Structure 1
Amino acid sequence: MTSPLLTRVLASFADSFDAAPTTVVHAPGRVNLIGEHTDYNDGFVLPCAIDYHTLVAAQPLDEPLVRVVASDYGDQLDEFRIDAPIVPVTGRADHAWINYVRGTVKALIDDGLVLRGAELAVAGNVPQGAGLSSSAALEVAIAQAFKTLQDLDLTQTRIAQLAQIAENRFVGCNCGIMDQLISARSTAGHALLIDCRSLDVSAVHLPEDVAVLIVHSRVKRGLVDSEYNTRRQQCEAAAAHYGVPALRDLDEAGLLARRGTLDEVVFRRARHIVTENQRTLDAAQALAAGDLKRMGALMAASHVSMRDDFEITVPPIDHLVEILQRVIGEDGGARMTGGGFGGCVVALLPESRIAAAREAIAAQYRAPSGEAAAVYVCHASAGAGPIALHAHA
């Protein structure tokens, strides 16, 4: 755990509530290694949690009140009752964090859990706006704080589901389950193969000397909402054409055999999903076997499919992938990660190649705005849970 982050959240708690917390919990951000846009097609994804976290320091209150301060926003305070309707705060961009907290608490209550009041301080170092799920980390950390404070009968999968409900219904973002589930359930040193239909998960070990490199292109993700909705509609149309509940139920042979009169663009969208699902399953096997050459080939094929069939990459992202692939060679791979049209590239590479990758990116890449890329070196982190405070005394 990052000591400066823990120091910061403890200081915020002490300054705001004139006390020491009884518990501190963490929840990590995430990056998806492979399996893009497969989640809403009931398919497979292979994310890993990263060692950037949201921390929540907490103590119980004897009244039905939640007081929460955000260390990252100058100790802004929000206060709301849990024995009255919990409603969103609107009209203040700098208060957006409040609705993730309120929405998560409401989802817990709506699920039948009897909550006590609490005082909370929140601090995080998950880069915001980089597609690394800072919002999911916040939601999961809030739910984890109440679970730990009250010893609630709440599985980590249910925490993820309630956090997703909070984002879908309270915040208003129609995200899938992947971000919250990896934050809640990941295992240190492992990626997590998630079946987005059953929510079954399998931990997949990452080789010891491999780092996860995340490169933010500094290209602001445009068109994501409208294009996301269009891609989703195209996938649903393809599934209906093939007579299956979701594209997850189709293999490549079936895709080609019953192509018929399907629109060419819709066919290419479906081909990405069908092949990406298989790549994700193959990638889990390659990683488990420590076969970085195979993993790299699958990541490269995933990027080509996103570029040509799903059409969600942009030239600066393609350029970043090319730079990284040249540095990594056959010892790993790189691909766009996230919804598309900007955002981040993820790479798996040996620790020994990190310096060369940094140098190549610095020398060969600038965003259209002229900005340099932001580079984050990560390792697969454990999922949400309490932190032993005595270990940091």
Structure 2
Amino acid sequence: MSHHATTAHDIAAYPDFTQLFHRLPDALAYAPGRVNLMGDHTDYNGGYVLPMPLPQETHVEVALRQDRTVRVWSGNVEPAQAHRDYRLGEERRRQDWVDYVQAATAALARGTHALSGMDVRVVSSVPPGAGLASSAALLVALLHAMRNALRLDVSDADVARLAHLAETEFVGAPVGIMDQMVCALGRPGSAFFLDTATLAYEHVPLPPSAEWIVIHSGVRHSHQTGSYPERRRECEAACALLGLRSMRDLEGAGRQEVLSRIAELPPPLDARARHVVTENDRVLAGVELLQDGNMRGFGALMKASHESLRHDYAVSVPETDLLVELADAEEAVYGARLTGGGFGGSVVIAAQAGAGRQVAGRIAERYRGHCGREAAVLLP
């Protein structure tokens, strides 16, 4: 998708809804991007995840029409591609950014909700391809705005489920449900502890002793292409050989028994399964450490998680490894890890409160010196 992120300053420069559609919107909604503090590639394996919402958001405005036409404008694509339209009930995948809007109306229609045509304006400051859930933020914001305009009886958790359905079935990205849940239900200042097997969740307040840094490596990733679907297939193959429905079924057995069963799998399935099982353990331990305010302990788990993503799950790239290495060399850093699906994207760093800006600036500067790429500091 050729979306690009914008800043709050850019957003003010866009044509507003009235300039685009010559009337006022009936509803508006927004959804944040997210950064995952712990628990990557566990969500589609029925495991535990620990993301938090970001200040970057996607904003959607909607006005209903009397016909079946949906007209959409996005501020995040080149002006020549900014306007799109289609008819309800005739949604067809175009391999284009409008697929996300079509996915949202198709998912609502499948849920037997009565829809009408609409005019839609989208602007976002969540960077795409950065591993920060730009597509989930877009779908959740779209569904929230449509729900509000049409006065549909749809809960926030329902919005998350519909957004997940839209992305997996219409867009064709085989993602888990973590992103949609945190984008729909997360709270600023808290981590969102989610059991993806039951969708039970808890808001975990973040310790005031920590400041979070998010740096985009400049290497874009995509969930639809590349090795992300391959990792899912490897996990399914591992489950089939172990006689399990999902990796989560390994939870009850004794630790050694689980690891010895995994060790008998052929490579690389053994390593993939080992990552999922140990990452679930890290999420559960991480929640307790955050509740105790133990950032040294949480930072050590972040390092272990990155090593597991790098070696057992093989989803890191030299650029994200370099960012983590540069972060770990900083005295004020508790820990750092790749965040999101991998194959590029961003890293998340836990630093001492008040040190974030200086630490992030130094890491970005050294990163440029080492590999010649520009790193974008997204938080703070």
Quick check: TM above 0.5? Answer: yes
3-state SS of 1:106 partner: helix
1:201-241, Cα deviation, whole Å (9 max, x unpaired): 11111123533211111234499844333332332233233
Q: Indicate the residue corresponding to 1:366 in structure 2.
A: 368
Q: State whether residues 130 and 221 of structure 2, in contact with CA within 8 Å, keep that contact through their aligned partners in structure 1.
A: no
Give matches, 1:139-150, under 5 Å.
139-150=139-150
Q: Secondary structure at the match of 2:213?
A: strand
Report the Cα distance in structure 2 between the residues aligned to 1:57 and 1:4, rounded to whole angstroms.
Answer: 18
Q: Could you tell me how far 1:141 is from its partner in structure 2?
A: 0.9
Corresponding residue SS for 2:115: coil
How far apart are 1:160 and its partner, in Å? 1.3
Mapped contact 1:8–1:71 kept (Cα < 8 A): no
Provide closer, same or farther for how the CA distance between residues 372 and 206 of structure 1 changes in structure 2, counting only shifts above 3 A: same
Contact 1:367 1:373 (8 Å CA) reproduced:
no
**1:31 aligns to what SS in structure 2?**
strand
2:52·2:191 contact (CA, 8 Å) conserved in 1? Answer: yes
Q: Percent identity at matched positions?
A: 37
Q: How many residues align?
A: 369
2:228 matched residue in structure 1 = 228
Aligned with residue 66 of structure 1, among 61, 65, 70: 70
TM-score if structure 1 supplies the norm length?
Answer: 0.86
Change (3 A) 1:224 1:311: farther
Q: What is the SS of the residue equivalent to 1:230? A: helix
Q: Secondary structure at the match of 2:227?
A: helix
Q: Distance in 1 between the 2:176 and 2:184 partners?
A: 14
Deviation of 1:14 after TM superposition, in Å, equals: 1.5
Report SS of the residue matched to 1:113. Answer: coil
Deviation at 1:28, TM superposition (A): 0.9
Question: Is 1:342 matched up with 2:373?
Answer: no
The match for 2:194 is 194
Q: For residues 11 and 152 of structure 2, what CA distance do their matches in structure 1 show?
A: 24
Spell out, residue by residue over 1:233-278, the C-alpha distance to the aligned partner (whole angstroms, 9 max, x if none): 3322332333332112224323234357422432222111111001
- Offset of 1:340 from its aligned partner? 2.1
The answer (yes or no) to whether the contact 2:36–2:50 under 8 Å persists in 1 is: yes
RMSD: 2.4
SS at structure 2 position matched to 1:130: coil
* Cα distance change on mapping 1:71 and 1:12 into 2, 3 Å: farther
Measure the CA separation in 2 of the matches of 1:46 and 1:62.
43
Matched, 1:301 2:304: yes
The higher relative CO (CA closer than 8 Å, separation ≥ 6) is in: 1
Residue 327 of structure 1 contacts residue 360 of structure 1 at CA under 8 Å; is this kept in 2?
no
1:110 corresponding residue in structure 2: 110
Listed as ranges, the gaps of 5+ residues in structure 1 are 91-95, 379-393
SS in 2 for 1:20: coil
1:354 corresponding residue in structure 2: 356
Q: For 1:27, which of 18, 24, 31 is the aligned residue?
A: 31
2: CA distance, partners of 1:241 / 1:50? 39
Deviations along 1:314-361, whole A, 9 cap, x unmatched? 2332221121122255x6321011222322111122331113312321
Tell me the TM-score normalized by structure 2. Answer: 0.89
2:35 match: secondary structure: strand
1:279 maps onto 2:282 in alignment: yes
1:76 aligns with 2:82: yes
Deviation at 1:6, TM superposition (A): 6.3
Deviations 1:137-167 (A, max 9, x none): 1111111011111221101121111112222
User: Which residue matches 1:161?
Assistant: 161
Cα deviation for residue 373 of structure 1 reads: 1.2
Checking the alignment, whether the CA contact within 8 Å between 2:216 and 2:346 is kept in structure 1 is yes
Q: CA deviation at 1:77?
A: 2.1
* Residue matched to 1:89: 94
Taking a change above 3 Å as real, the CA distance of residues 72 and 311 of structure 1, as seen in their structure-2 partners, is: closer
User: The residue matched to 1:72 in structure 2 has which SS?
Assistant: coil
1:54 lines up with 2:58 in the alignment: yes
Give SS of 2:269's match: helix
* Structure 2, gaps ≥5 residues long: 1-6
Structure 1 distance, partners of 2:262, 2:150, is: 54
Local SS of the residue matching 2:230: helix
Could you tell me how far 1:192 is from its partner in structure 2? 0.7
For 2:55 and 2:223, the matched residues in 1 are separated by: 29
User: How big is the shift at 1:109?
Assistant: 0.9
Is 2:174–2:223's contact at 8 Å kept on the other side of the alignment? no
Aligned amino acid, residue 163 of structure 1: A
SS in 2 for 1:263: coil
Q: Distance in 2 between matches of 1:219 and 1:257?
A: 36
Query: Which amino acid in the other structure matches residue 200 of structure 1?
Result: A
* Aligned partner of residue 63 in structure 1, secondary structure: coil
1:269 alignment counterpart: 272
Amino acid at match of 1:89: R
- Helix, strand or coil at the partner of 2:143: helix
The whole-number CA distance in structure 2 between the counterparts of 1:327 and 1:102 is: 45
2:295 aligns with 292
